[in-house]
Structure 1
Amino acid sequence: MTETAEEIKARKEREKDELYALDISGVEWHGAPGTEEHEERVEIAYLPGGAVAMRSSLDPDTVLRYTEAEWRAFVLGARDGEFDLEPAPRNDGRDAG
């Protein structure tokens, strides 16, 4: 049986509600290899069911949580270059590259 759009939306909302209801006070936070704890960095924690929590070291109380499917899609997109930053334009309007 195929889920309707409404059923998918309701299921995803339930998954998010369950994810944000998890107590993550004791999780272990990981930064990128080679970074120090005092440096500005993005940190992630692995949650049950393949979910992931993510926060900034500058604002550790603000935590975003992603389901396994969301995290997988993000990682695959990052590997494919979907989130690569474009060079910032120079002040004179020419590209920085």
Structure 2
Amino acid sequence: MIKNPDNLVIQQTSGNYYVPSVIRETLVQLCNKAGVEYRGTHVFRHTHAVLLLESGASLKYVAARLGHEKITTTADYLHITEKIEKDELDKFAAHVLE
């Protein structure tokens, strides 16, 4: 496989771009096969942001990575997962019990 200079995640083995409709149609087929609702390709961006937060990345870093000028944009973009909730409560408990 040839690496695309743009570091694309989804690319042809030749390194060329896929037409967006090909990606969308393939994802729709995969979602149908898996029995889940297709929610568009933008959900990958949201998932990436949430996984970054779950891994401990700061909101400021996630905002910069997503290209948001304000962290409030990023904060509105995300939701609190069970892991984030547990991690934050563990931090609070550790602080209180010091």
| Fold similarity call, TM over 0.5 | no
Quickly name the TM-score band, shorter chain normalised.
Answer: under 0.3
Q: Which has the higher strand share?
A: 1
TM-score normalised to the size of structure 2? 0.27
TM-score normalised to the size of structure 1? 0.27
Q: Which has the higher helix share?
A: 2
